Amino acid sequence: MERNLTELSEDYFKAAEDLNYLITKYRKELNEAYAANNHLKTYEIKRKLTVFYDQKRDVLATAYALQNYYDKSRRMVLA
């Protein structure tokens, strides 16, 4: 099964949406942990959120790179 770059970028954008769902879910849990004054739970959730935000940033960078692969004027330059 062959897929073009646009289809692959759409998969990465979908993954970013999934990560948004997880971020929203854990932000709510973080607020509950703050309210309960549960420091251990707060620390664990903050660590998870950091990972999710990092993953989302990487997924979006890949999605945009695939989407704009042939458009040199919009391609990101990593230096």
Residues in the chain: 79
User: Which tokens belong to 55?
Assistant: 């993953």
Its pTM stands at: 0.80
Express each pLDDT in 12-59 by its tens digit: 999 999 999 999 999 999 999 999 999 999 999 999 999 999 999 999
Q: pLDDT category, 76, cuts 50, 70, 90?
A: low
3-class secondary-structure state, position 21 = helix
Domain map (residue ranges) of the chain:
5-67
Orientation angle between helical segments 5-35 and 39-67, nearest 10 degrees: 160
